[in-house]
Structure 1
Amino acid sequence: MTRFRDDPEADALGQALAALRKARGLSQAEAGARMGVTSQAWGLYEAGRRPGMFRPDVQRRLTAALDLTPEDLALEMARQPVSPTRAAERLEEGGRAFSANGTAGSVRRTLQLRDDDLAPWAGSGVVLVYDLAVWPRRDQGCVVETDDGPVIGLYHRGDRDTVVLRGPSGDKRVLERSRIGSVGAVVARLEGVGWPQ
C-alpha cells in the first residue's frame, strides 16, 4: 500500500474540494458517481491522498462533478488555512527552513502577471496565488521575493547560498539568498478573474 507523506498543499486542495462539495449539498458518493468514481476514491481526493490531484485534467473532472470550474477550486483553496504544525514540519524536514521567520501558518499572496514572459505556463493577466509557508517542489511555479521585487519561475533547485529558477524555455536564473526575502510555491493560477490593475 502506498504511504503518502503529509503535504499541506494536498491537504488544502482536499479541504477546498470538500468545502465545495458540501456547499453544493452533495455526499461523497453522489459527487463520486457524477465523476464516475467510487465514494472511497472521492474521499481520497478530499483527504489529499490521491496521486494526480494537481493535474489540470483531474481538477477539471473533479470540479465538473460539482458543476464548478478549476478556478472555483483555486479560489476556495486560497481561502483554506494550512495547518501550522504541518507547514512548519514540511519546511524543517527538507532542511530548507528558509525565511520562515517563525511563521507557522499559511501566508498566501497574489501577484498578477503583466507580460507573457512565462508563456505557455502563465501569460499576461493571470493571477498567481503563492504561499510563503510552502516550499516549491522541483518544476513547480514559485515566486521569490527579492530586494528588487518578485521573481517568478519554475523552481529548479536550492542550496545554502542560491536558489535556481528556470523559465518555460529552460533558461536558468541563479538568485543569491542574501538578496532573497522569501520563497513561496504557486498554489493556484487564476485566469480571467478580472482583478483590478
Structure 2
Amino acid sequence: MARFTDDNDADAEIRALGEALAMLRRERGLSQAEAGQRLGMTSQGWGLYEAGKRSGLFRPDVQRRLTGALDATPEDLALLVRASSTPSALTQPFKPDGLEMRGRIFEGAPSVERRRLQLSSDELAPWAAAGTVLEYVPGRWPRRDQGCVIEMADGSLRARLYVRSDEVELVVRGAGALLTIEKIPRVQARAVSAVVARLDEG
C-alpha cells in the first residue's frame, strides 16, 4: 500500500500529536493513569499514545475518544500541534493550500495567568501528596473531580477536589486521607480556580 508521507514525516507528526495530547492532559491536572481510567485504559496504554508509539492516534475516532476523556476536542489537539510545530506562526500569515490570505493578521490568544501553590500536607493524598506544587488558573472554573484552589474570605488558600456548587454552598473533597466531602458556604469562598497541572518538586 502506498504511503503519502515520508516515514520520518509520519513519525514526527505522530510525536507532535502525542506531545499535544500530553499537554492537554497536564492542563487538566490529570495523571496518565487518571486519563486512561476514564476510558478503561491503563496508564501504560495512555502513555504509548503520548509517546507517539500508537499510529492509531492519526485516526479521527481515536482522537475524539482520547480528547473526550480530557473534556477537549480533536480541534484543541490540532491547535496545540500547530502552535508547537510553528513557533513563529503568530507572526506569519496563514495561507491555506492553494489560497493566498489577504488582510489582517490575527494576534494570538493572550497568555493565561497561572499561579502555584505548594501542598504542605497529605490532605489530598493519593491525588497529590505533601510537596506537590499545584498550578492553577485564577478565574477558570473546575470540572467535577478536577483539583481546585479556593481563596477563602479570610485570604487563606485551600486545595481540594471539586464536586459541585450552587448559590448556597461549594461541595469539595479533601481534608483527609479518605478525601471526605466538605461543604463550604459560598459566602466564605471568595474565588475558585481550576488546577491545570501537578508538579513534583525535587
With the length of structure 2 as denominator, give the TM-score of the two structures.
0.49
The residue that corresponds to 2:62 in the other structure is none
SS at match of 1:128: strand
The residue that corresponds to 1:119 in the other structure is 125
Indicate if the aligned counterparts of 2:30 and 2:197 stay in contact, CA closer than 8 A. Answer: no
SS at match of 1:178: helix
Structure exhibiting the larger radius of gyration computed from Cα positions: 2
**Aligned partner (choices 102, 105, 113) of residue 107 of structure 1:** 113
Indicate if the aligned counterparts of 1:162 and 1:174 stay in contact, CA closer than 8 A. Answer: yes
Q: Residue type of the partner of 2:121?
A: D
**Aligned partner (choices 160, 164, 169) of residue 157 of structure 1:** 164
Indicate if the aligned counterparts of 1:107 and 1:133 stay in contact, CA closer than 8 A. Answer: no
SS at match of 2:121: coil
Q: Between the two proteins, what is the percent identity of the paired residues? A: 37
> How far off its partner does 1:136 sit?
0.7
Count of residue correspondences? 124
The residue that corresponds to 1:180 in the other structure is 189
SS at match of 1:127: strand
Q: Quick one: structure 1 residues 54 and 127, their matched pair in 2 at CA, closer, same or farther if it must change by over 3 Å?
A: closer
Indicate if the aligned counterparts of 2:18 and 2:50 stay in contact, CA closer than 8 A. Answer: no
Deviations 1:48-87 (A, max 9, x none): 6xxx995513774466459xxxxxxxxxx9xx9xxxxxxx
Q: Quick one: structure 1 residues 44 and 120, their matched pair in 2 at CA, closer, same or farther if it must change by over 3 Å?
A: closer
4+ runs of 1 displaced by more than 6 Å?
none
> How far off its partner does 1:146 sit?
0.5
Q: Please show how residues 126-145 of structure 1 align to structure 2 within 5 Å.
A: 126-145=132-151
Indicate if the aligned counterparts of 1:29 and 1:42 stay in contact, CA closer than 8 A. Answer: no
Deviations 1:86-125 (A, max 9, x none): xxxxxxxxxxxxxxxxxx9733210000111111110011
Which structure 2 segments of 5+ residues have no match?
1-7, 33-42, 54-79, 85-109
Q: Please show how residues 15-34 of structure 1 align to structure 2 within 5 Å.
A: 29-33=10-14
Q: Quick one: structure 1 residues 45 and 114, their matched pair in 2 at CA, closer, same or farther if it must change by over 3 Å?
A: closer
Q: Quick one: structure 1 residues 28 and 125, their matched pair in 2 at CA, closer, same or farther if it must change by over 3 Å?
A: farther
- State the alpha-carbon separation in 2 of the partners of residues 115 and 46 from structure 1: 27
Deviations 1:16-59 (A, max 9, x none): xxxxxxxxxxx87324556xxxx8x65984996xxx99551377
Q: Quick one: structure 1 residues 62 and 129, their matched pair in 2 at CA, closer, same or farther if it must change by over 3 Å?
A: farther
Deviations 1:137-169 (A, max 9, x none): 111111111024111111011001211101262
